Amino acid sequence: MSGELGQRLDELRPLGLHVLRELERAARELGVDKFYSPAWEAGTASLRRDPADGSMVLVVEWRDARGYKSGELVVNADGSLYAECDVLLPHPTDSRWFVEAVTAWGRPGAIHSEPRLLQAV
């Protein structure tokens, strides 16, 4: 990959790998042992214009075997980021909950993460 997209991907690869590990850590901390974050290289990257300020935002998406989006990392021009990845498993210790996804947000050096839970029916 060349040009601006290739350069941004190369620059942000260490951060992207860190965020993917953080998503995996959040799932493991919850007790979900069947979740593995996607491989960085398996993502499809694009640059998109932020409608709010006109800056270019790096977006990396991951898709499952059926082609459905299963994860995404968005890195804004100011360095802030948001990521999420599907888990789609029952909560391992509390049957009242279903683990929809794990999410991460923040900036390099200050990444936070948490599971996104749905009430089980």
Q: Which pLDDT tens digit goes with each residue over 56-82?
A: 999 999 999 999 999 999 999 999 999
Residue 38 CA neighbour count, 13 Å, CB half = 24
Q: Which pLDDT tens digit goes with each residue over 15-62?
A: 999 999 999 999 999 999 888 889 999 999 999 999 889 999 999 999
What's the confidence (pLDDT) of residue 35? 87
As a whole number of angstroms, the distance between CA 119 and CA 106 comes to 26
CB atoms within 10 A of CB 58: 22
Query: Is the entire prediction scored with pTM above 0.85?
Result: yes
What's the confidence (pLDDT) of residue 3? 87
**Where are the chain's structural domains?**
3-119
Residue with more model confidence, 4 or 88? 88
What's the confidence (pLDDT) of residue 2? 60
If phi > 0 it is left, if psi is from -120 to 50 it is alpha, else beta; for residue 89 that is beta
What's the confidence (pLDDT) of residue 105? 98
Mean pLDDT computed over 81-88: 96
